[in-house]
Amino acid sequence: MHFHLVGGFLGSGKTTAIIGAARILMAQDKRVGIVTNDQGKYLVDTAFFRAQDFPTVEVTGGCFCCNYDDLEARLKQLQASTWPDVIFAESVGSCADIVATIVKPFLDLQTAGIPLTSYTVFTDVRLLRRRLSNQPMPFGDDVVYIYDKQIEEAGLLIINKVDLLSAADMQATHALAQTTFPGKALRLQNSRNASDVEHWAQLIETDPTLVPQTSIEIDYNRYGAGEAELAWLDEAITLHTPSRRLRAGIVALVTAIRSTILDQQLPIGHVKFLVETPSHGAKISLPSIEEPGWEQDIPALEGDNARVLINARVQTDAQALRTLVKAAIQQAASTCGGSVTELEVDSFHPGFPRPTHRIS
Ligand SMILES: Nc1nc2c(ncn2[C@@H]2O[C@H](COP(=O)(O)OP(=O)(O)O)[C@@H](O)[C@H]2O)c(=O)[nH]1
Ligand SMILES: [Mg+2]
């Protein structure tokens, strides 16, 4: 069995790559299991993995580091229920210090006998380009500190979304990364491209050198301050619309939430939507740097209502985020002549990171 840890900042493409790799490995007759992780409880990623029939367990209410025992328990559960050949565990995008708090404890203390095989960190190439060429980043300094620390400790750094930069800029960023991180395993990738993801899957399945052994030095006060600057909002609603207006209603919903966040110039970590009707499911993503084409991810929808799960991670105050999303939802419902039932809502700031173990 192989166990691959996958980290990296919010919206960097972790889930996209894991889904692609899991499909490829399943086509090779391997059984694949997934562990998701988040500070919240109602997770778009878990629902999205399960909607595609991947056996998925979750560690909720905090990062892997602060819930090490739960991670081990969930892995044992996955092992006992589905006997996977390969497990991917995706850590929450605001988490750092994984080597000292997960990798080393996993190698030294773990009782489940699961061999940790790789630790990949993803970054959006456009964010990396800004960072390495000293251009302004879309987040505050302590959030950027988390981003830097994630990259520093990667066993393998995937410079992702290369399709969104010109070839010249992409090569320049790669060269800068090679100079800045000498000796680090780096890969340029488009995770929406199956053959690119196949190469990643093959690499982590066969290269034994991708488990980093060196714990980073990290200032937990800055790490905690960075996490506290981010607000989490998880909300489940049912959107009711007049018949044949359901897709337009979903477009209005995403547009209203996006516009209200952008109008207030709040930095987006990642805003995700999972739309479910009896016959369809769709995930819509708004990452930190705008990506065109989210509307194309919404299929034609039948019926007059859909369940929508919203996970918003935004640099602002948690109560303010809740208020503005609520107003945007109401605005979208009235735009399409519909109404909304609120099913669950939770908004908060991540707590101070207190790892279960830390091996320096
Ligand atoms: N253009 C492009 N989009 C990507 C790529 N990888 C991921 N995305 C998109 O980036 C957004 C966030 O991806 P997701 O996998 O949910 O990120 P996560 O938060 O790191 O798990 C989604 O809209 C993806 O479709 C890529 O290589 N190229
Ligand atoms: Mg994800």
Strand partners, 36: 58
138 with 240, same domain: the answer is no
Q: And the tokens for 33?
A: 């299991």
Q: How far is it between the farthest Cα atoms of the chain?
A: 59
Most ligand 1 atoms within 8 A of CB, residue of 191, 296, 313 to mutate: 191
Q: Which of 225, 253, 279 is the last residue of a domain?
A: 225
Looking at the CA of residue 16, tell me the nearest atom of ligand 1. 15
The predicted structure's pLDDT at residue 290: 87
Instruction: Flag whether 83 is in a domain.
Output: yes
255 and 124 in a common domain: no
Residue 357 within any structural domain of the chain: no
Residue 355, in any domain of the structure: no
Residue 28: per-residue pLDDT: 96
Does residue 214 sit in the same domain as residue 235? no
Question: Domains in the chain: how many in total?
Answer: 2
Q: Is residue 360 part of a domain?
A: no
- Ligand 1 in reach of 288 Cβ (< 6 A): no
- Residue 229 backbone phi and psi in degrees, to 5: -75, -20
Last residue of a domain, one of 183, 205, 225: 225
Instruction: Say which residue the tokens 């952008």 belong to.
Output: 262
Note whether 197 and 269 are same-domain residues.
no
DSSP reduced 3-state for 177: helix
Q: 283 with 270: CB under 8 angstroms?
A: no
Residue 356 lies inside a defined structural domain of this protein: no
Would you say the CB of residue 40 lies under 6 angstroms from ligand 1?
A: no
343: domain CATH number? 3.30.70.360
Which residue, by CA, sits nearest to atom 7 of ligand 1? 13
Confirm whether 353 is domain-assigned.
no
Q: Which of 225, 259, 289 is the last residue of a domain?
A: 225
Assess whether 73 and 98 both reside in one domain.
Answer: yes
Q: Are residues 241 and 338 located together in one domain of the fold?
A: yes
> Do both 309 and 195 map to the same domain?
no
Q: Is the pTM of this model over 0.95?
A: yes
Cα dihedral 164→151→35→235 (10° resolution): -60
Per the structure, the complete domain to which residue 92 belongs is given by: 2-225
pLDDT at residue 95 in the model: 97
Q: What is the reported pLDDT for 112?
A: 83
Q: Which residue's CA is minimally distant from atom 13 of ligand 1?
A: 13
Question: Is the Cβ atom of 192 under 6 angstroms away from ligand 1?
Answer: yes
- Same domain? For 82 and 63 the reply is yes
Q: Which amino acid is at 213?
A: Q
Look at residues 300, 312, 294 and name the one whose alpha carbon lies nearest to residue 236: 312
267 shares a domain with 136: no
**Residues 191 and 114 reside in one and the same domain:** yes
In a domain, 269, yes or no: yes
- Concatenate the DSSP letters of all residues of 65-97 into one string: GGGHHHHHHHHHHHHHHH--SEEEEEPPTT---
Whole-number pLDDT of residue 203? 98
Q: Where are the beta strands (DSSP E) in 98-196?
A: 116-124, 156-160, 185-189
Verify that 51 and 162 share a domain, yes or no.
Answer: yes
Same domain flag for 148 and 65: yes
Q: What is the pLDDT along the chain (360 residues), one digit of tens a residue?
A: 999 999 999 999 999 999 999 999 999 999 999 999 999 989 999 999 999 999 999 999 999 999 999 999 999 999 999 999 999 999 999 999 999 999 999 999 988 889 999 999 999 999 999 999 999 999 999 999 999 999 999 999 999 999 999 999 999 999 999 999 999 999 999 999 999 999 999 999 999 999 999 999 999 999 999 999 999 999 999 999 999 999 999 999 999 999 999 999 999 999 999 999 999 899 999 999 988 899 999 999 999 999 999 999 999 999 999 999 999 999 999 999 999 999 999 999 999 999 999 999
Yes or no: say if 286 and 268 are a contact pair by the CB < 8 Å rule.
yes
Nearest atom, ligand 1, residue 10 CA: 19
Q: Is residue 359 part of a domain?
A: no
CATH number at residue 104: 3.40.50.300
Cα–Cα dist 36/95, whole Å: 13
Which residue in this structure is represented by tokens 């714990």? 215
